[in-house]
Amino acid sequence: MVWKRNIAYIDLSKRKITKKIVPKSLRQQYLGGRGINAYHLYNHIAPQINPLGPDNALLIGTGLLTGIPALGAGRCDIAAKSPLTGAVGDSNIGGFFAPEMRLAGFDHLVITGVADNPVYLWIHDGEVEIVDATHYWGNDTFETQTQIRADHNDEEIKSLVIGVAGEKLVRYANIRTGMKNAAGRTGMGCVMGSKNLKAIATRGTMDIEFVYPEELLEYCSEMNNMITSSRWARAQSKWGTLIIYSNTNTTGLIRTRNFQKNLLEGGEDLEPENMDRYSFGMSGCYGCSVHCRHRYVLEEGPHAHFGEGPEYTSLGAFGTMVDCKKMDTVLAANHLVNKYGIDTLEVGGIIAWAMELWEKGILNEGMTDGLQLEWGNEEVLFELIRKISYREGFGDILADGFNPAIAKIGKGSEYYAMQIKGMSNLHSDERPTPSLALNIATATRGADHLRSRPAIDLYGLPEELLEEIYGGPVSSDYTSYKGKSREVWWQELLYAVTDSIGICKFQTVFCAVHAPKWDEFSKLIYLTSGMDLKKPQLMEIGERIATIERLFNIREGFSRKDDNLPERFFKEPTPLGFPIVRGKQIDRGKFQDMLEEYYSLHKWDNNGVPTTQTLQKLGLEKQRSQNT
Query: pLDDT, tens digit, for every residue of 104-159?
Result: 999 999 999 999 999 999 999 999 999 999 999 999 999 999 999 999 999 999 99
Asked if 442 and 415 sit in the same domain, the reply is no
For residue 565, the domain's CATH number is: 1.10.599.10
Asked if 457 and 310 sit in the same domain, the reply is no
Question: What SS3 state is found at 304?
Answer: coil
pLDDT score, position 511: 87
Asked if 414 and 475 sit in the same domain, the reply is no
For residue 79, the domain's CATH number is: 3.60.9.10
Asked if 42 and 122 sit in the same domain, the reply is yes
| pTM higher than the cut 0.95 | yes
Give how many domains the chain has, as a whole number: 3
Residue 56 falls within a domain, yes or no? Answer: yes
Q: Given 152, 186, 203, which residue is the final one in a domain?
A: 203
323: domain range? 241-424
Residue 269 falls within a domain, yes or no? Answer: yes
Q: Could you give the CA distance from residue 489 to residue 598 in angstroms, rounded to a whole number?
A: 6
Of the candidates 55, 200, 228, which has an alpha carbon nearest to the alpha carbon of residue 141? 200
Asked if 497 and 557 sit in the same domain, the reply is yes
Q: Given 424, 458, 484, which residue is the final one in a domain?
A: 424
Of the candidates 286, 123, 89, which has an alpha carbon nearest to the alpha carbon of residue 197? 123
Residue 413 falls within a domain, yes or no? Answer: yes
- 10-residue averages of pLDDT along the chain (628 residues): 90 98 96 98 95 98 98 97 98 98 98 98 97 98 98 98 98 97 97 98 96 97 94 91 93 96 96 96 95 95 95 96 97 98 97 98 97 98 98 98 98 97 95 98 95 96 97 97 98 98 95 93 98 98 98 98 98 98 98 98 98 97 56
Q: Given 406, 424, 442, which residue is the final one in a domain?
A: 424
* In contact, 31 and 61? CB cutoff 8 Å: no
Asked if 438 and 420 sit in the same domain, the reply is no
pLDDT score, position 342: 98
Residue 212 falls within a domain, yes or no? Answer: no
Residue 600 falls within a domain, yes or no? Answer: yes
Q: Could you give the CA distance from residue 456 to residue 413 in angstroms, rounded to a whole number?
A: 34
Q: Could you give the CA distance from residue 422 to residue 400 in angstroms, rounded to a whole number?
A: 10
Where are any strands of DSSP class E within 335-412? none
Burial class (CB in 10 A: 0-12, 13-18, 19+), 195: buried
Asked if 246 and 287 sit in the same domain, the reply is yes
* In contact, 196 and 182? CB cutoff 8 Å: no
Q: Could you give the CA distance from residue 242 to residue 254 in angstroms, rounded to a whole number?
A: 13
Pairing label, strands 106-112, 6-11: parallel
Cα 56 from chain centre? 20
Asked if 161 and 19 sit in the same domain, the reply is yes
Asked if 251 and 132 sit in the same domain, the reply is no
For residue 347, the domain's CATH number is: 1.10.569.10
Asked if 412 and 549 sit in the same domain, the reply is no
pLDDT score, position 623: 64
In one letter, which amino acid is 444?
A: T
Asked if 452 and 408 sit in the same domain, the reply is no
* Helix (H), strand (E) at residue 93: strand 88-93
Residue 229 falls within a domain, yes or no? Answer: no
Residue 221 falls within a domain, yes or no? Answer: no
Asked if 414 and 446 sit in the same domain, the reply is no
